[in-house]
Amino acid sequence: MMKETKKPFDKCPVCGGQLKEKKVEKLLQGDVDIAVIKVRAEVCLHCGERLYSQETVKRFEEIRKKLKQNKVTDFQPIGRTFQVPAYS
């Protein structure tokens, strides 16, 4: 028999909407560098709020730290980013 895991929230803590587990992309920034990671999150079907597990949040913190320290050798480059001057 499989043990059912208790979720911290039955409904969205922001609006009270229904939550559904989905695979989402999260952008993480460390200084000028950005990493993209795909993770599972509970997503509110009404307002779009995302709820991440404690394990996932810890992973986010590790990635941000690596970005800030430029320890990105195990990250896969996927493109380049450019800043365009604003029009006056």
Residue pair 12/19 in contact by the 8 Å Cβ criterion = yes
Q: What is the pTM of this model?
A: 0.79
Model pLDDT, residue 76? 93
pLDDT digits 0-9 by tens, 14-34: 999 999 999 999 999 998 899
Sign of CA dihedral 10, 16, 21, 27: negative
Model pLDDT, residue 80? 83
pLDDT beneath 70, residues of the chain:
1-7
Strand order in the sheet with 50-51: 19-30, 33-44, 50-51
